[in-house]
């Protein structure tokens, strides 16, 4: 039901049941918010969004109060502005003046609020919070003195990630946010997904940077510098550099990376193709044997850590096939090293990815061979963009170049795999194609793409039902468990931690908006429609890689290098 309310002496239409904030926003009136998170229930904790409602003594928090028909609202009266300003001034009063060096500079919400509210001097003086830096995690750095206690990280970790790794500790001036027993982060149940980093308005949470390390190696002439990047990286870089993204941008990125000093540039997408292909073969074997064990895809490293901690019972069903990054990584250290006649220890191998948890994955136990890591350094898209800017590469003046053989291409399915449901879709399509020479029904496949955090389909294989489940963010696991407990069987299960898949990965630019992401997903689906090589098994490049390189190389022909292992983890849950 629509009704009229009055805002700043003008009539606007509001809808019964919506909050004041949503009515304002729909009518193009902007007010600042801080603790509010889109798609979360409001808490009204920070009071940044206050407005004046005629007839009410106290200012009202617009993010949590429902609109009512009689309301006369002032959104920018002197009283409201003073209130908002005071909140920000209080937040700034004990905040470290570290902005020039801060990881969040140019993206900080606190800074933006201070600017929007025209704060020009430090009116409220308070003792600065004592610095406390936690760098123990392989992926995420916590700078507690920069925390403004908005609670967004606590909520996303509980309500979206379901890891419950953060909470408020103590009270009053001693309040801070941290993991169980106030330990360092690496002892906690954190699965390194980085969703909290994306939520944090300040520099209190950010990724662990590897730029300095990478630079050091770039300057080292005795080392061969190699980089791989995954399909979403190019669009992320385009966004960060403020260039319109098109399909050719991959090839521009290749030349930029070479100009920075990388000797070889490979596509993680080739590794994705291998990953899909190996999984499809495994699934095909399971179906043939009538195996009732489900096959859980293990390509999302945050999900893998989650399983190791919270549901170790399924580990025997977790596919041992490495993630695309690690497959590409191990091929660089074996095949490429062999080809070029260099020792693997003379290669420095970097991976650029939209994922935060891959920083952790690269350091896992089962991700090295003879003491040599598959991947040496993992950078987020944001870090790579910094590196590119640091080297002053002028994008407008650059010729597109192909990536390096034999990992220079990918099927459109490899891009699909970075969107939730895409990996499962690619695997089942490949399995079907390998068996029948045609793909399963397109409309059926599309049902894996959208529709809540739990999605499923059944595909027929010679009269046998093969069930596929997609868990889109870990909240979907509850539904899976309920169904499995009730006796339902699944043959293939894809789980991705970030909602929507890697497209919402914590390594992508902060400026990547919801509509940017949607557009990108649309492009990925469109490409899959028109691409001739829409599955790894149709890729001449991949065939060549398998037949000419992998199968011919007796050290890796058994494909053991593509496998890893998982084990139960003991952390405080």
The entry of ligand SF4, ligand FES, other proteins, none that residue 572 binds, CB within 5 to 8 Å by partner kind = other proteins
| Structure token digits, residue 88 | 């920000």
Count of CB atoms situated within 10 Å of the CB of 455: 21
3-class secondary-structure state, position 572: coil
Q: Is residue 188 part of the contact set for other proteins (CB under 8 A)?
A: yes
> Residue 247 contacts by C-beta under 8 Å, 6 or more apart in sequence?
523, 527
Query: Minimal CA–CA distance to 232: which of 416, 497, 37?
Result: 416
Contact 73, 29 (CB under 8 A): no
Q: Is residue 169 part of the contact set for other proteins (CB under 8 A)?
A: yes
**Nearest approach, Cβ of 291 to ligand SF4 (angstroms)?**
32
Residue with tokens 């003594």: 57
Q: Is residue 34 part of the contact set for ligand FES (CB under 6 A)?
A: yes
**Nearest approach, Cβ of 153 to ligand FES (angstroms)?**
15
**Where does this chain touch ligand SF4 (CB under 6 A) — which range of 92-100, 123-131, 200-208, 341-349?**
200-208
Which helix (H) or strand (E) segment holds residue 217: the answer is: helix 211-218
Q: Which is nearer to ligand FES, 27 or 450 (CB)?
A: 27
Rounded CA separation 358/237 (Å):
18
Beta strands in 25-103 (DSSP E): 50-53, 60-61, 72-74
The entry of ligand FES, other proteins, ligand SF4, none that residue 44 binds, CB within 5 to 8 Å by partner kind = ligand FES
**Where does this chain touch ligand FES (CB under 6 A) — which range of 30-38, 85-93, 184-192, 304-312?**
30-38
DSSP character at residue 128: P
Which of 5, 23, 36, 546 is close enough to bind ligand FES by CB under 6 A?
Answer: 36
Which of 204, 274, 381, 503 is close enough to bind ligand SF4 by CB under 6 A?
Answer: 204
Residue with tokens 């557009």: 519
Q: Which is nearer to ligand FES, 46 or 357 (CB)?
A: 46
Rounded CA separation 146/140 (Å):
14
Q: Is residue 61 part of the contact set for ligand FES (CB under 6 A)?
A: yes
Which of 7, 73, 156, 508 is close enough to bind ligand SF4 by CB under 6 A?
Answer: 156
Rounded CA separation 36/224 (Å):
47
Which of 22, 77, 164, 553 is close enough to bind other proteins by CB under 8 A?
Answer: 164
**Where does this chain touch ligand SF4 (CB under 6 A) — which range of 126-134, 184-192, 226-234, 272-280?**
184-192
**Nearest approach, Cβ of 159 to other proteins (angstroms)?**
13
DSSP character at residue 140: E
The entry of other proteins, ligand FES, ligand SF4, none that residue 181 binds, CB within 5 to 8 Å by partner kind = other proteins
- Dihedral, 421, 424, 427, 432 alpha carbons, nearest 10: -100
Q: Is residue 110 part of the contact set for ligand FES (CB under 6 A)?
A: no
Q: Which is nearer to ligand FES, 63 or 356 (CB)?
A: 63
**Where does this chain touch ligand SF4 (CB under 6 A) — which range of 117-125, 191-199, 291-299, 453-461?**
191-199
Which helix (H) or strand (E) segment holds residue 378: the answer is: strand 377-380
Which of 33, 65, 75, 165 is close enough to bind ligand SF4 by CB under 6 A?
Answer: 165
- In whole angstroms, how large is the CA radius of gyration of the chain? 25
The entry of ligand FES, ligand SF4, other proteins, none that residue 47 binds, CB within 5 to 8 Å by partner kind = ligand FES
Q: Which is nearer to ligand FES, 43 or 93 (CB)?
A: 43
Rounded CA separation 156/167 (Å):
11
**Where does this chain touch ligand FES (CB under 6 A) — which range of 43-51, 77-85, 496-504, 508-516?**
43-51
Q: Which is nearer to ligand SF4, 60 or 91 (CB)?
A: 91
Residue 237 phi/psi, 5° resolution? -65, -45
End-to-end CA distance of the chain: give it in Å, rounded. 45
Q: Is residue 201 part of the contact set for other proteins (CB under 8 A)?
A: no
Count of CB atoms situated within 10 Å of the CB of 462: 9
| Structure token digits, residue 349 | 């191998």
**Where does this chain touch ligand SF4 (CB under 6 A) — which range of 126-134, 152-160, 434-442, 479-487?**
152-160
Q: Is residue 504 part of the contact set for other proteins (CB under 8 A)?
A: no
Total residues at interface with other proteins (CB under 8 A): 16
Contact 224, 263 (CB under 8 A): yes
The entry of other proteins, ligand SF4, ligand FES, none that residue 151 binds, CB within 5 to 8 Å by partner kind = ligand SF4
**Where does this chain touch ligand SF4 (CB under 6 A) — which range of 63-71, 141-149, 318-326, 522-530?**
141-149
Residue 176 phi/psi, 5° resolution? -150, 175
Rounded CA separation 489/468 (Å):
9
Rounded CA separation 549/554 (Å):
10
Residue numbers of the site for other proteins (CB under 8 A)?
Answer: 164-171, 179-182, 188-189, 572-573
Residue numbers of the site for ligand FES (CB under 6 A)?
Answer: 33-36, 44-49, 61, 63
């Amino acid at each position: 039901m629509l009704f009229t309310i009055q805002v700043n002496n003008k009539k606007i239409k509001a809808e019964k049941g919506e909050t004041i904030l949503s009515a304002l926003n729909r009518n193009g009136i902007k007010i600042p918010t801080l603790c509010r998170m889109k798609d979360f229930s409001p808490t009204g904790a920070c009071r940044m969004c206050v407005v004046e409602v005629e007839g009410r003594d106290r200012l009202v928090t617009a993010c949590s109060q429902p609109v009512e028909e009689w309301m006369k609202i002032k959104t920018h009266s002197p009283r409201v502005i003073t209130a908002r300003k005071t909140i920000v001034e209080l937040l700034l009063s004990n905040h470290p003046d570290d902005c020039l060096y801060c990881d969040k500079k140019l993206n900080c919400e606190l800074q933006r609020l201070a600017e929007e509210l025209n704060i020009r001097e430090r009116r409220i003086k308070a003792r600065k919070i004592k610095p406390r830096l936690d760098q123990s995690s392989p992926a995420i750095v916590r700078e507690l003195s920069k925390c403004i206690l908005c609670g967004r990280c606590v909520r996303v970790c509980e309500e979206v990630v379901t890891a419950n790794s953060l909470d408020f500790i103590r009270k009053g001036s001693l309040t801070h946010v941290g993991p169980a027993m106030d330990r360092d982060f690496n002892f906690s149940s954190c699965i390194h997904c980085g969703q909290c980093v994306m939520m944090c308005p300040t520099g209190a949470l950010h990724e662990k940077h590897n730029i300095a390390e990478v630079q050091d190696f770039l300057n080292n002439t005795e080392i061969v510098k190699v980089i791989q990047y995954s399909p979403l990286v190019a669009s992320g870089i385009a966004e960060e550099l403020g260039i319109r993204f098109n399909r050719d941008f991959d090839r521009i990125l290749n030349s930029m990376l070479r100009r920075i000093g990388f000797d070889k540039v490979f596509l993680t997408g080739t590794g994705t193709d291998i990953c899909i292909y190996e999984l499809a073969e495994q699934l095909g074997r399971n179906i043939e044997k009538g195996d009732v064990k489900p096959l859980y895809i293990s390509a999302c490293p945050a999900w893998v850590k989650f399983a190791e901690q919270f549901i170790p019972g399924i580990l025997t069903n977790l596919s041992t096939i490495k993630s695309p990054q690690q497959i590409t990584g191990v091929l660089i250290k074996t095949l490429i090293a062999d080809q070029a006649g260099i020792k693997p220890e003379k290669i420095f191998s970097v991976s650029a990815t939209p994922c935060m948890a891959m920083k952790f994955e690269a350091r896992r136990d089962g991700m090295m061979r003879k003491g040599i890591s598959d991947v040496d350094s993992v950078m987020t898209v944001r870090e790579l963009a910094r590196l590119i800017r640091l080297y002053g590469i002028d994008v407008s003046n650059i010729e597109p170049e192909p990536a390096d053989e034999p990992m220079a291409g990918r099927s459109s399915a490899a891009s699909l795999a970075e969107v939730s449901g895409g990996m499962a879709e690619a695997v089942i399509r490949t399995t079907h194609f390998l068996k029948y020479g045609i793909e399963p029904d397109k409309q059926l496949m599309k049902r894996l793409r959208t529709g809540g955090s739990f999605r499923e389909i059944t595909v027929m294989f010679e009269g046998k039902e093969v069930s596929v489940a997609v868990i889109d963010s870990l909240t979907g696991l509850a539904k899976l468990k309920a169904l499995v407990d009730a006796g339902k069987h699944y043959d293939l299960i894809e789980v991705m931690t970030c909602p929507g898949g890697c497209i919402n990965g914590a390594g992508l630019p902060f400026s990547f908006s919801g509509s940017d992401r949607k557009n990108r997903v649309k492009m990925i689906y469109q490409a899959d429609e028109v691409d001739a090589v829409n599955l790894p098994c149709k890729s001449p490049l991949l065939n060549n890689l398998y037949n000419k390189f992998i199968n011919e190389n007796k050290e890796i022909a058994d494909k053991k290098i593509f496998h890893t292992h998982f084990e139960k983890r003991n952390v405080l849950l």
